[in-house]
Structure 1
Amino acid sequence: MKRIIILPALMVLYATATAQNYLGNLSSNPYAPNSTTNPYGAGNPYNPNSISNPYGQYGSEYSNRSANNPYATEAPKLYDNEGNYRGRLSSNPYDPDSTSNPYGRYGSQYSPDSINNPYGAGNPYSSNSPSNPYGQGLSIYGDDD
């Protein structure tokens, strides 16, 4: 009986510790409603949770959670449609998980896990690829407070 009581408490604790905001999809498809290149969808610069909003926590060049801050350490995370982690959408070239780190797993043009590799995760013919103009791209999640 005690296990039944403890297990739901641990599940609630885990769910609150991993809470994340869905910010849209990193995609070059300007017609997809959740695409960050759609100015009327997830790429709307007036949306407070958009990575395109220069005054929001995920788009400001000063926020530690921003994709546009070159010193950010808590930038938004990228996931494909199977739930595989694809790094952090960050302009920080020193963060090991950053998509802008040319020597890291998720930023190197030679890594199969990198969106910068046209033969790996960045394959323009893959529906998960952010460079496919007809695909859905990668899901972007920001850490919640």
Structure 2
Amino acid sequence: MTGLVRVAAAIILLATTSGAGAQYLGNYSANRYDPDSTGNPYGAGSAYNPNSINNPYGPYGSPYSNRSASNPYATDAPKLYDSDGNYRGRLSSNPYDPDSVSNPHGRYGSPYSPDSINNRFGAGSPYAPDSPTNPLGQGLRIQGEDDD
């Protein structure tokens, strides 16, 4: 039984760490009550949080940073992951990035793709627990890259 516990702990550790330089930025969610939600103005969504996507002066919220979710030309925007660890695209306002949630023709931005948070019948369903549009859900994990 001890070996099984060690294997489970190793799997959990690998699932929660996605590599060197990765930074957890909170959850992309409409949940105003969850402290890890970007929808909570006093939690991860605070404009005063240095790593918040809502901070216009931080690296992940500045309209000028290449790592920002709000820079329409960013190429290194934060990545989104669901609760199972599946990649759900980049949280980016860049409409030309193939992985951007703002690309209306891409896999993660099209309102017709099941993997898109813009599809209200797919990954963007307000009833799915890890959907960013669920007002009481967990949302999607936001992973940014640190400077190396």
| TM-score (normalizing by structure 2) | 0.86
- Which residue of the partner structure matches residue 28 of structure 2? 26
Distance in 2 (alpha carbons) for counterparts of 1:18 and 1:41: 25
Gaps spanning 5+ residues in structure 1: where?
1-14
Measure how far apart 1:144 and its partner are: 1.4
Measure how far apart 1:18 and its partner are: 3.7
Q: Higher Cα Rg: structure 1 or 2?
A: 1
Q: How does 1:92-131 map to 2 (within 5 A)?
A: 92-131=94-133
1:144 aligns to 2:125 (yes or no):
no
Measure how far apart 1:16 and its partner are: 9.6
Distance in 2 (alpha carbons) for counterparts of 1:48 and 1:144: 13
Distance in 2 (alpha carbons) for counterparts of 1:27 and 1:17: 23
Output the amino acid matched with 2:43.
G
Cα distance, 1:16–1:115 mapped onto 2, change above 3 Å:
closer
| Aligned pair partner of 1:54 in 50, 53, 56 | 56
Measure how far apart 1:37 and its partner are: 1.0
Distance in 2 (alpha carbons) for counterparts of 1:119 and 1:37: 21
Q: How many residues align?
A: 131
- Which residue of the partner structure matches residue 81 of structure 1? 83
- Runs of 4+ residues over 2 Å off in structure 1: 15-19
| TM-score (normalizing by structure 1) | 0.88
Gaps spanning 5+ residues in structure 2: where?
1-16
Cα distance, 1:59–1:112 mapped onto 2, change above 3 Å:
same
Using the aligned pairs only, state the percent identity: 73
Distance in 2 (alpha carbons) for counterparts of 1:16 and 1:83: 9
Matched position secondary structure for 2:80:
strand
Cα distance, 1:117–1:48 mapped onto 2, change above 3 Å:
same
Output the amino acid matched with 1:29.
N
Distance in 1 (alpha carbons) for counterparts of 2:113 and 2:80: 16
Cα distance, 1:21–1:82 mapped onto 2, change above 3 Å:
same
Output the amino acid matched with 1:35.
S
Measure how far apart 1:64 and its partner are: 0.2
